[in-house]
Amino acid sequence: MKQKTLFTAAAVALLLVFVVGTLLYKSERINEATQTAAANGTVLVRPHSPTLGNADAPVVIVEFFDPACETCRAFYPLVKQIMAANPGKIRLVLRYAPFHKGSDRVVAVLEAARKQDGYWPALEALLAAQAEWAPHHAAEVDLVWRHLQGVGLNLEQLRTDMNSPEIASLIAQDLADTRTLKVTKTPQFFVNSTPLLNFGYEPLKQLVDSALRETQRR
Amino acid sequence: MHTSETSAALRSDATAWNLLFTAWLVASVSTLGALFFGEVMQIPPCVLCWYQRICMFPLVLILPAGLFPPDRKVVRYALPLTVAGWLFAVYHVLLVAGVIPEGMVPCTEGVPCSEQVIKWFGFVTIPLLAVIAFSIIILLLVLAHIRGSK
């Protein structure tokens, strides 16, 4: 009888320690991430990044994304939906976190397309065809060209531009910033420098809504 | 004569039970610890970690089967898993230390087994914790077996 009590008490104690430890760890992480983002405002938004929407919008969504990431593709229309629902109030800043193998080359293609003012159509064309040029979670830059043909870009020029040192240093800077901001997964969202820690569409929408409410009050 | 024998048997039984119970405690702490690293801190486990988990997690359920009612035969069922886990853990420690070159083991994409994600006090790594845990469990099981067979 005594043994059973001892065993049950030990099992309950262990589980309790685990649950309390988990809760403490999670709340600690949320504090940490918020502080990191707040302390690194200049790191969060760089002038070199592609942006979408009103330049003076009160709410800024910073998205660290990887063109080869499936969840990023799935979120792209959702983010645009949120923006369309609040016209003029939200600006999207895209930062690169090319964590998939080979996707830094695809980022270079996108940046070269930006030089020809074809960034967003190129991005949308590539996201639509993602499964074809990024099979098995590895991006293959040789497979993207076919999907860019209808976009109206000078592909010859683009192939030269994508190897420019500015593009390489932009990608290196973004990758360095992912380390500073402890971005390890894509997409990672920051809404007015608050990181989205409970990932999902609803949490993102709530975070944006609360930021909108906050700016209206001011 | 008879009564003293019985009480000696009872005492050794109680000692064997305590040893098995302690082994279960070590296995449970290790299991919850591994789950904390993997699920809460979200450190992706490499292939070798998975093999060690395969050996550790079942002990949490197997050992209590020998506690209620006390059955020292459980040592025979738990020991093979424990020894296998110990071997994987020792291999893993040697791999991290660089004694065994990497490339000999297949690793999960993006999670090289030789990577050290945790280093407490400069030398305590996850595979070292696993070696310690498996060693303690082996010792306790063997002691419980000897005690129980007396």
A65, β-bridge pairs? A96
Q: What is the pLDDT along chain A (218 residues), one digit of tens a residue?
A: 688 899 999 999 999 999 999 999 988 887 877 777 777 777 888 888 999 998 889 999 999 989 988 888 888 999 999 999 988 899 999 999 998 888 899 999 999 999 999 899 999 999 998 888 887 778 888 888 888 888 888 888 988 999 999 999 999 999 998 888 888 888 889 998 888 877 888 889 999 998 999 887 76
Looking up residue B29, the CATH number of its domain turns out to be 1.20.1550
DSSP B39: I
pTM: 0.62
A1 CB neighbours in chain B (<8 A) are none
Q: Which residues of B touch A (CB under 8 A)?
A: 17, 21, 24-25, 28-29, 32, 35-36, 40-41, 64, 67-68, 109
Average pLDDT, chain B: 83
C-alpha–C-alpha distance, residues B72 and B145, integer Å:
6
Q: Which domain holds residue B81?
A: 2-149
- Nearest neighbour of A7 by CB, restricted to B21, B32, B36: B21
- pLDDT, tens digit (0-9, with 9 covering 90-100), for B11-54: 667 888 999 999 999 999 999 999 998 888 878 788 888 999 99
Look at residue B137 in the predicted model and tell me its pLDDT. Answer: 96
B109 pLDDT higher than 50: no
Domain boundaries, chain A: 2-39, 43-217
Residue in B closest to A16 by C-alpha: B32
- Nearest neighbour of B40 by CB, restricted to A6, A15, A22: A22
* Lookup result for tokens 């080869």: A68
Which token pair is A209? 């809504």
Look at residue B112 in the predicted model and tell me its pLDDT. Answer: 61
B7 pLDDT higher than 60: no
Look at residue A16 in the predicted model and tell me its pLDDT. Answer: 96
CB distance A152 to A121 below 8 Å: yes
**Domains identified in chain B, total number:** 1
* Between A73 and B113, the higher pLDDT residue: A73
Look at residue A165 in the predicted model and tell me its pLDDT. Answer: 92
Residue in B closest to A9 by C-alpha: B25
C-alpha–C-alpha distance, residues A16 and A188, integer Å:
31
Look at residue B106 in the predicted model and tell me its pLDDT. Answer: 46
C-alpha–C-alpha distance, residues B89 and B50, integer Å:
11
The architecture (CATH level 2) of A43-217 comes to 3-Layer(aba) Sandwich (3.40)
C-alpha–C-alpha distance, residues B31 and B23, integer Å:
12
Look at residue B107 in the predicted model and tell me its pLDDT. Answer: 45
Distance between A179 CA and the closest CA of chain B, angstroms: 15
CB distance A212 to A86 below 8 Å: yes
CA angle B33, B35, B36 (to 5 degrees): 65
Q: Which residues of A touch B (CB under 8 A)?
A: 3-4, 6-7, 10-11, 14-15, 17-18, 21-22, 25-26, 137
Residue in B closest to A22 by C-alpha: B40
